[in-house]
Amino acid sequence: MRNRFGPKVGNFEVPVPPAIDVENVSKSYGKLLAVDRLNLKVDEKQVHGFLGPNGAGKSTTIKMLVGLLKPDSGSLRILGQKTTGDNPAVRRRIGYMPELPKFPKHLSGLELLDIYGQMYGMSKEERKSRASELIKMVGLEGRGKDRIGGYSKGMQQRIGIAQALISDPELVILDEPSIGLDPVGMVEVRDMVKDITKTGKTVFFSSHLLGEVQQICDHVTVLNKGVSLFSGPLSEIGNKAVSRRLVVEVEKTTDAISNYFKTLSYGTVESTGNTFTLHLNTTQDIRAEVSRGLTAAGGVIVGMRGEGGGLEDAFLSLIGKESLAS
């Protein structure tokens, strides 16, 4: 984790607290342990994906972050402030979109944004201009004055995104923003989230869709059965994939080359013609070693490439590991 410092005060630099800081948090519902000693840090300006299968504990964690649920143990801080208890001061700094959001059907989209804006203490003029700007941004132009009761699911997701942004918050928390939408709606919502990330805000969003996280986030935390399996830059999660493959193409296959591959203890080998595929059981980078070994065996390497190691492989590996462990 890199050190972050804010403005200088006298001779000291004041460290900037993480946007989200979850320490050793557990939460259970009766006998079901939903979140188990979770640690999670999200730095400012990060676009952090919270990935996990359904029932992993993502929504429970987010509900604890926004104060809807109390943790059994541990501490949660947002922008340096404790979130436990009824703490409106913290909520003033965040915008939150719940999973499958529901809003009062009797209000119009514009009324909803205006009332929520008033709750943030925004002036009338500020609310009016922000609401119409957001209605436009989420593609509800011309429908802002309609009652929410007449909105489709996709439109409710859109107004959900708009209301999360009404106060121009420092931290945006989105819980499964594209769940339940058709493919077109999913792409549109994803584009909206991408637009939010361009504004330089810290974005923390949960999803069970790998592609969505891969397209939007720079950091990711993988959660399964309430346990964090990985948390760090998206670029590093590939190392967690145990199903990675190393594909080596040689000019001509000889017995010495075949025997060399058989001596490797990094996984199983498949061969097709002059192509050898190693199904790796390690995250170690063995390309240099293989290159040296093949040269020693008299082989000429035509090509060597790594396969797998993407988010999907990593995710499945992590989930698999966890399942085996339990």
Per CB under 8 A, 122 contacts other proteins:
yes
Q: Nearest distance from residue 101's CB to other proteins, in Å?
A: 6
What is the rounded CA–CA span in Å between residue 185 and residue 139? 11
What is the rounded CA–CA span in Å between residue 117 and residue 119? 5
Binding mask 231-270 for other proteins (x = CB under 8 A): ----------------------------------------
Size of the site for other proteins (CB under 8 A): 37
Per CB under 8 A, 89 contacts other proteins:
yes
What is the rounded CA–CA span in Å between residue 198 and residue 200? 5
Binding mask 26-65 for other proteins (x = CB under 8 A): ---x---------------------------------x--
Which residue in the set 4, 105, 153, 292 belongs to the binding site for other proteins (CB under 8 A)? 105
Place of tokens 């009652």: 147
Q: What value, to the nearest 5°, has the Cα angle with vertex 178 and ends 96 and 190?
A: 90
Going by C-alpha positions, the residue among 211, 221, 227 that lies closest to residue 323 is 227
Per CB under 8 A, 102 contacts other proteins:
yes
3 state DSSP class of 27 = strand
Per CB under 8 A, 103 contacts other proteins:
yes
Phi and psi at 250, nearest 5°, equal: -110, 160
Binding mask 58-87 for other proteins (x = CB under 8 A): -----x--xxxxx---------------x-
Contacts of 43 (CB under 8 A, 6+ apart): 1, 2, 4, 18, 19, 202
Going by C-alpha positions, the residue among 36, 53, 10, 17 that lies closest to residue 210 is 53
Binding residues (CB under 8 A) for other proteins: these are 29, 63, 66-70, 86, 88-89, 91-92, 94, 96, 98, 100-107, 111, 115-116, 118-123, 126, 160, 163, 167-168
